[in-house]
Chain A
Amino acid sequence: MPLAEAVAQHVRDGQSLALEGFTHLIPFAAGHEIIRQGRRGLHLIRMTPDLIYDQMIGMGCAQRLTFSWGGNPGVGSLHRLRDAVERGWPRPLAITERTHAEMAVAYQAGASGLPCGLTRHFGDTDLDRAHESGRKDPHGDKGDREAAPLTCPFSGERLLAVPALNPDVTILHAQQVDRAGNVLIRGILGAAREAALAARCVLVTVEEQVERLDAPPNAAVLPHALLAAVSIVPGGAHPSYAAGCYERDNRFYLEWDAISRERGAFEGWMREHVLAVTDHSELLRRLGVAA
């Protein structure tokens, strides 16, 4: 199914949305399509918002963000995320913060049909205290309840219950889909599989379609029955990467710092590279990375 059609059919204003992929296989093409289609009021969920959520937040798609690390890896700040949190531009952004381990158990719980995931708990950090104050947050909505300490009924040890994450829609990028619609992910997985299995609806973009997946039995394969739509989008993870297909565009990640620092320059770049293009391949040509 063409990506524009998949997004039009399955992504609605106000939904909770997880575009996962840890540094690797970040579904940029899908995020850009959501921006082009003008979705609003989204609750964005990602361990590392990365450039894709910086762009979606800066373009006004998001109302809430659940995350664990919001920087440009190895470079510095996500300036659009900062502008939204510090100055409410282009609109205020409510945030729920967790640690990486907490995000991981929250996705696992969601994928397992459990109401919460568990980590150990030894003492409050200010993150735990920020959770406390978050309970009174007027934006508080589903999927956004706060973590709470509890006692293990067997050992008496202190634990932290982290509410499950069940995104309305999870979107992933992967290397291959076969004729039957099964999807193969190679390389760094992050929490992509858990985020997919936790979701009510899963969309996937892939680099290519093949006759048969050349995958060992324990490979990371998403069976076709789990997926609402698969779209073939070569280069769909750029400037992130797809192992075996192309490398991470570290140069672009470095350049994004200057592109995104000022509102005007950011909007200009987004107009030219996202709003004014019809699809991802046109963007790759404009950036000069298409061969």
Chain B
Amino acid sequence: MTGDYTADEMMTVTAARQLRNGSVCFVGIGLPSAACNLARRTHAPDLVLIYESGTVGARPSVLPLSIGDGELAETAICVVPLPEVFAHYLQRGRVDVGFLSAAQVDRHGNLNSTVIGSYSRPTVRLPGSGGAPDIATYAREVLLIMKQSTRSFVPRLDFLTSTGYLAGHGERARHGFPGSGPRAVITDFGILRPHRATEELELAAVYPGVAPEAARAACGWPLTVAADLEVLPTPEPADLRVLRELHAGTEEAHARPVRIRLPHFDRS
């Protein structure tokens, strides 16, 4: 079965390959966390993972459900207060890569994680910003991982939560944002990257067997296909094995019942 893999696995393995060993990475929960921990267990053992709960250099053996699971604190180099992780690490420029996801992205890599519909009367109230706008501002570069559909890759965001390239053509840089913005969007079709001049996201790479037309059909704006479109390698059996072990261990850990010992006097 090692020749077979799911779209999620292809995405996670591809995302993991975007991370360089030794870099300091601010990690969101979900797919970003899976990709970062896969990278750490394969080609990037010295990746320093920071979760917004203040755990610096976490090396979890199973994937956390929340950004503050005990597993992160127990395996971290240190645990700092939350105001410190945002001010002294992120704002001070000590984070190389911010790894994010969102409900909507537009053609210039701007993100919405706040509402669908209007702000005062939303159709869907999403969880909100969290640390995403801060990460999108200060991380030296940003990686995004999102499944592609016309609902999530939209011509116009319902709400601008986190800043990408704004309207492109250097607008982000002109505003003086310290970080350089989204370097890549890893999707279930391949990778989108910003065009050098316009900063519009283009289809730069596809997975084996994926037609560029399929990626274009799942995008809400007319997606440009890069002239030198790359075909990405399939996941290595070793990558899949590590990723599956990670997920299996995670499922088992999250299903484990919690036991709390109560003192006897408590009941009397």
List residues of A whose CB falls within 8 A of some B CB: 22-24, 47-48, 67-71, 73-75, 77-78, 81-82, 85-86, 97-101, 104-105, 107-108, 119-120, 122-123, 125-127, 130, 133, 158, 187-191, 193-194, 208, 234-235, 238-239, 241, 243, 245-254, 281, 284-285, 288-291
CB B103 to nearest CB in A, in angstroms, measures 11
- The answer to whether A127 touches B129, judged by C-beta atoms less than 8 angstroms apart, is yes
Contact of B53 among A24, A123, A234 (CB under 8 A): A24
- The answer to whether B128 touches A85, judged by C-beta atoms less than 8 angstroms apart, is no
Instruction: Tell me whether A108 and B83 are in contact in the complex, defined as CB-CB below 8 angstroms, given that A238-B260, A253-B65 are known contacts.
Output: yes
24 contacts between A and B (CB under 8 A): A47-B82, A69-B127, A69-B130, A74-B29, A74-B64, A98-B129, A99-B132, A100-B130, A100-B131, A101-B87, A105-B83, A126-B119, A127-B114, A188-B73, A190-B54, A238-B260, A239-B258, A243-B74, A246-B261, A247-B70, A251-B256, A254-B254, A285-B262, A289-B259
Contact of B114 among A81, A126, A187, A243 (CB under 8 A): A126
CA A74 to CA B124, docked complex, whole Å: 18
Q: Which of B145-168 contact A (CB under 8 A)?
A: 157, 159-163, 166
Contact of B70 among A120, A238, A248 (CB under 8 A): A248
- The answer to whether B82 touches A191, judged by C-beta atoms less than 8 angstroms apart, is yes
For the complex with contacts A70-B127, A105-B83, A289-B259, 20 further pairs of A-B residues with Cβ separation under 8 Å are A23-B67, A71-B126, A77-B126, A85-B125, A86-B123, A97-B114, A98-B129, A108-B83, A122-B163, A123-B166, A126-B119, A188-B72, A189-B81, A189-B82, A191-B83, A281-B267, A284-B262, A285-B262, A291-B260, A291-B261
Cβ of B201 within 8 Å of any chain A Cβ, yes or no, is no
- The answer to whether A281 touches B254, judged by C-beta atoms less than 8 angstroms apart, is no
Residue of B nearest to A190 (CB): B82
Cβ of B12 within 8 Å of any chain A Cβ, yes or no, is no
**Contacts of A189 on B, CB cut-off 8 Å?**
54, 79, 81-82
Contact of B163 among A125, A194, A238 (CB under 8 A): A125
CA A179 to CA B203, docked complex, whole Å: 64
Instruction: Tell me whether A104 and B73 are in contact in the complex, defined as CB-CB below 8 angstroms, given that A86-B122, A126-B114, A246-B260 are known contacts.
Output: no
CA A290 to CA B53, docked complex, whole Å: 27
- The answer to whether B83 touches A125, judged by C-beta atoms less than 8 angstroms apart, is no
- The answer to whether A99 touches B81, judged by C-beta atoms less than 8 angstroms apart, is no
1/0 per position for B53-67, CB-CB distance to A under 8 A? 111000000001111
**Number of A-B residue pairs having CB atoms within 8 Å of each other in the complex:** 210
**Contacts of A97 on B, CB cut-off 8 Å?**
114, 128-129
Q: Which of B68-109 contact A (CB under 8 A)?
A: 68-70, 72-74, 79, 81-83, 86-87, 90-91
Contact of B86 among A24, A100, A122, A284 (CB under 8 A): A100
Cβ of B30 within 8 Å of any chain A Cβ, yes or no, is yes
Contact of A99 among B79, B129, B177 (CB under 8 A): B129
CB B95 to nearest CB in A, in angstroms, measures 12
Cβ of B235 within 8 Å of any chain A Cβ, yes or no, is no
| B interface secondary structure, majority | loop
Contact of B258 among A74, A158, A247 (CB under 8 A): A247
Residue of A nearest to B81 (CB): A189
1/0 per position for B17-43, CB-CB distance to A under 8 A? 000000000000110000000000000
CB A173 to nearest CB in B, in angstroms, measures 13
- The answer to whether A251 touches B82, judged by C-beta atoms less than 8 angstroms apart, is no
**Contacts of A285 on B, CB cut-off 8 Å?**
262
**Contacts of B64 on A, CB cut-off 8 Å?**
74
Cβ of B175 within 8 Å of any chain A Cβ, yes or no, is yes
- The answer to whether A187 touches B159, judged by C-beta atoms less than 8 angstroms apart, is no
- The answer to whether A249 touches B86, judged by C-beta atoms less than 8 angstroms apart, is no
**Contacts of A291 on B, CB cut-off 8 Å?**
259-262
- The answer to whether A68 touches B130, judged by C-beta atoms less than 8 angstroms apart, is yes
**Contacts of A252 on B, CB cut-off 8 Å?**
258
Cβ of B46 within 8 Å of any chain A Cβ, yes or no, is no
Cβ of B263 within 8 Å of any chain A Cβ, yes or no, is yes
- The answer to whether B258 touches A69, judged by C-beta atoms less than 8 angstroms apart, is no
CA A247 to CA B73, docked complex, whole Å: 12
CB B38 to nearest CB in A, in angstroms, measures 17
CA A23 to CA B120, docked complex, whole Å: 28
CB B265 to nearest CB in A, in angstroms, measures 10
- The answer to whether A238 touches B81, judged by C-beta atoms less than 8 angstroms apart, is no
**Contacts of A81 on B, CB cut-off 8 Å?**
125
